[in-house]
């Protein structure tokens, strides 16, 4: 089977997984249930979430038990979520599903904020201490320890850890990132300097830097993310905001396209071949999950080891994370692409981050350099965070001895990803995301009552019950592995 046929085969499977009645429906149902049991935390507690994050950014490190500070956990999670899905993923969503895909991306974020809150809460609540003395967290632990049906719990936990390990190696947290970094680098080099750079040049650069950071483990990853993430978001959003201000007259038309074409087919125009409503839903939801990771199960691996006194404190940080990623950063990218009109240009129908770079350059000369730099920073931060996610999953499966070999394989695949075609790398990434998300979403559904009890304890009882013992089991939540 040649590469072209393999790509077509994977794209078909990916399309089936993300059709409206499969993964998008599961995501909305679980997110809806969690929204209800948390009292719509994404709406009622959003101001509190914002205050919590900004206080954490400037105060001294917390004294609670944990490995990294709450803000470092947010930065690490944002490093993974605010990646090239915000640059290349949004572009491919529009190219596949038309402007209506952006609406479904917003829907994913609306319920996803409650989902991410619940993941972070459960991550802290069920975290364990490994034999190495380090804390570990994630869906594999809260599924295994929280669901009272041992057979189901073990099956779901190991399925998640297995799918997540593969996804971190070959999915959107690795090869899709290096692919977009390489493409935007090449686009900027050609546009600004008139120099044609081979894809392997930026590939080697990003691979080398990732390898150097990964040698230091989670503390170095968190320290790098804490400094890097706020700066990279401000750089990219600042450029996008400048573009939107210069093209403010296009916004009414852009909004009209987004809302109208979310429910009606997008007609073929220019090089765009047209898209059905199902394609808009599939593209918007799959790229939305790719971007904000709500329901995917990756972020609680970082949130779960934060230094906090109560799980809900970290849960609201998860709400803020999704808001920034999708409502702010992804929306900015969508406005730029749709305002430029380049999404219908035949020259960009196979593009990803290079479409975003070209669109921004229509009003901001030299903007492709900003996108290339943002793509590099986004991709770099996502890669180091996702390697950590993957190593904690394979550690759950095979023990701590495999972490170093895993890092070597992960770093090698960064280089491979920079050379793979756009359709193949994104189809593989979103397909693996679906496999990874399903056992986590089932686990979240079964543990919704635990989330409700913890949420009520914090917001209604001031955390009094939880400060003494676990409100569900009566035992301390920060237990050791095997206890």
14 or 72: whose pLDDT is higher?
A: 14
Query: Which of helix, strand or coil describes residue 135?
Result: strand
Q: H-type helices in 418-473, by residue range?
A: 422-446, 448-461, 464-468
Are 237 and 82 within 8 A, CB to CB? Answer: no
Residue 328 has pLDDT above 60, yes or no: yes
What pLDDT does 1 receive?
56
Mean pLDDT of the 328-353 span: 88
Give the per-residue pLDDT at 466: 63
d(CA 225, CA 70): 13
Find all residues with CB under 8 Å of 17, minimum gap 6, and list them.
23, 430, 431, 434, 435
Residue environment code for 247-277, b if the CB has 16+ CB neighbours within 10 A, otherwise e: beeeeeebeebbeebbeeebeeeeebeebeb
Query: CA torsion 247→253→254→256, rounded to 10°?
Result: 160
Between residues 219 and 384, the one the model is more confident about: 384
Tell whether the model's pLDDT for residue 64 goes beyond 70.
no
Model confidence at 34, pLDDT cuts 50, 70, 90, reads: very high
pLDDT at 32: 94
| Euclidean distance between CA atoms 58 and 137, whole angstroms | 26
Q: Tell me: the pLDDT tens digits for 246-299? A: 999 999 999 999 999 999 989 888 888 888 888 898 888 888 887 788 899 988
Q: 98 with 260: CB under 8 angstroms?
A: no
pLDDT score, position 171: 77
| Of 63 and 314, the one with more pLDDT | 314
Report whether pLDDT(478) > 60. no
Which residues, listed in sequence order, are joined to residue 306 by a DSSP beta bridge? Answer: 68
Task: Name the band, by pLDDT with cuts 50, 70 and 90, for residue 438.
Answer: very high
Q: Bridge partners of 479?
A: 128
Question: Is-contact 422 351, C-beta < 8 A?
Answer: yes
Q: Which helix H or strand E contains 480, and what residues bound it? A: strand 479-480
Q: What pLDDT score does 477 carry?
A: 45
Across the range 112-139, mean pLDDT stands at: 89
Whole-angstrom distance, CA of residue 335 vs CA of residue 362: 13
Query: Which pLDDT does position 258 carry in this prediction?
Result: 95
307-327 pLDDT, tens per residue?
A: 888 899 889 989 988 998 888
CATH, range 3-475: 1.20.1740
Give the bridge partners for 275, in sequence order: 266
Q: Which residues of 363-393 are buried (b: 16+ CB within 10 A; e: fewer)?
A: bbeebbbbbbbbbbbbbbbbbbbbbbbbbbb
Tokens of 454: 């913890």
Residue 50 has pLDDT above 60, yes or no: yes
User: How many helices and strands in the chain, by DSSP H and E?
Assistant: 23, 3
DSSP, residue by residue, 268-302: PBTTB--B-HHHHHHHHHHHHHHHH-TTTS-THHH
pTM above 0.95, yes or no: no
Round to whole Å and give the CA distance between 340 and 247.
9
Output 216 or 468, whichever has higher pLDDT: 216
Q: Indicate the domain borders of the chain.
A: 3-475
The Cα 172–Cα 164 span in angstroms is 11
pLDDT tens digits for range 370-412: 877 777 777 777 787 888 889 899 999 998 889 889 988 998 8
Residue 272 has φ and ψ, to the nearest 5°, of -80, 125
**What CA–CA distance (Å, rounded) separates 165 from 390?**
5
Mean pLDDT lowest for which of 77-86, 150-159, 227-236? 77-86
**Range of weakest confidence among 32-41, 188-197, 473-482:** 473-482
3-state helix vs strand vs coil in the chain, percent to 5: 75, 0, 20
Comparison of pLDDT for 57 and 182, the residue scoring more: 182
CB 468 within 8 A of CB 475: no
Those residues with Cβ within 8 angstroms of residue 216's Cβ, 6 or more apart along the chain or in another chain: none
User: What are the DSSP E strand ranges found in 177-258?
Assistant: none
Please, which pLDDT band fits residue 71 given cuts at 50, 70 and 90?
low
Under 8 Å between Cβ of 88 and 176: yes
DSSP 257: H
- Per mean pLDDT, which range of 107-116, 232-241, 415-424 is the poorest? 415-424
To the nearest whole number, what is the mean pLDDT of the chain?
82
Mean pLDDT of 449-465: 85
């Amino acid at each position: 089977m040649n590469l072209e046929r393999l790509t077509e085969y994977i794209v078909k499977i990916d399309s089936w997984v993300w059709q409206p009645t499969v993964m998008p429906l599961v995501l909305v149902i679980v997110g809806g249930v969690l929204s209800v049991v948390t009292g719509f935390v994404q709406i009622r507690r959003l101001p509190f979430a914002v205050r919590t994050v900004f206080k954490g950014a400037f105060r001294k490190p917390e004294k609670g038990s944990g490995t990294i500070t709450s803000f470092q956990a947010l930065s690490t999670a944002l490093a993974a979520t605010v990646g090239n899905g915000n640059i290349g993923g949004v572009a491919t969503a529009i190219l596949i599903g038309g402007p209506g895909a952006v609406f479904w991306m917003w829907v994913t974020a609306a319920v996803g904020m409650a989902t991410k809150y619940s993941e972070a809460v459960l991550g802290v609540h069920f975290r364990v201490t490994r034999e190495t003395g380090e804390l570990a967290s994630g869906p594999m632990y809260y599924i295994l320890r929280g669901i009272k049906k041992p057979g189901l719990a073990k099956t779901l936990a190991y399925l998640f850890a297995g799918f997540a390990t593969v996804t971190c190696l070959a999915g959107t947290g690795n090869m899709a990132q290096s692919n977009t970094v390489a493409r935007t680098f090449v686009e900027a080099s050609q546009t600004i300097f008139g120099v044609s750079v081979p894809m392997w040049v930026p590939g080697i650069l990003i691979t080398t830097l990732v390898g150097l950071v990964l040698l230091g483990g989670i503390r170095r990853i968190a320290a790098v993310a804490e400094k890097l993430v706020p700066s990279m978001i401000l750089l990219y959003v600042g450029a996008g905001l400048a573009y939107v201000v210069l093209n403010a007259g296009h916004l009414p038309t852009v909004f009209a396209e987004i809302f109208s074409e979310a429910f009606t087919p997008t007609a073929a125009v220019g090089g765009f071949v047209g898209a059905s409503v199902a394609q808009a839903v599939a593209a918007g939801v799959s790229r939305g999950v790719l971007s904000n990771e709500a329901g995917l199960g990756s972020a609680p691996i970082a949130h779960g080891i934060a230094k906090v006194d109560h799980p809900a404190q970290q849960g609201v940080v998860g709400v803020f994370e999704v808001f920034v990623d999708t409502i702010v950063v992804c929306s900015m990218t969508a406005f730029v692409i749709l305002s430029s009109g380049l999404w219908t240009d035949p020259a960009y129908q196979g593009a990803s981050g290079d479409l975003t770079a070209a669109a921004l350059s229509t009003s901001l000369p030299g903007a492709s350099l900003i996108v290339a730099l943002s793509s590099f920073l986004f991709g770099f931060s996502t890669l180091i965070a996702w390697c950590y996610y993957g190593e904690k999953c394979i550690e759950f499966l095979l023990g701590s001895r495999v972490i170093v070999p895993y890092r070597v394989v992960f770093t090698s695949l960064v280089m491979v990803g920079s050379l793979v075609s756009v359709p193949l790398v994104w189809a593989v990434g979103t397909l693996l995301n679906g496999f990874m998300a399903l056992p986590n979403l089932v686990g979240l559904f079964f543990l919704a009552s635990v989330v409700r009890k913890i949420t009520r304890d914090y917001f209604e009882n001031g955390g009094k019950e939880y400060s003494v013992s676990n409100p569900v089991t009566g035992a301390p939540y920060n237990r050791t592995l095997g206890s």
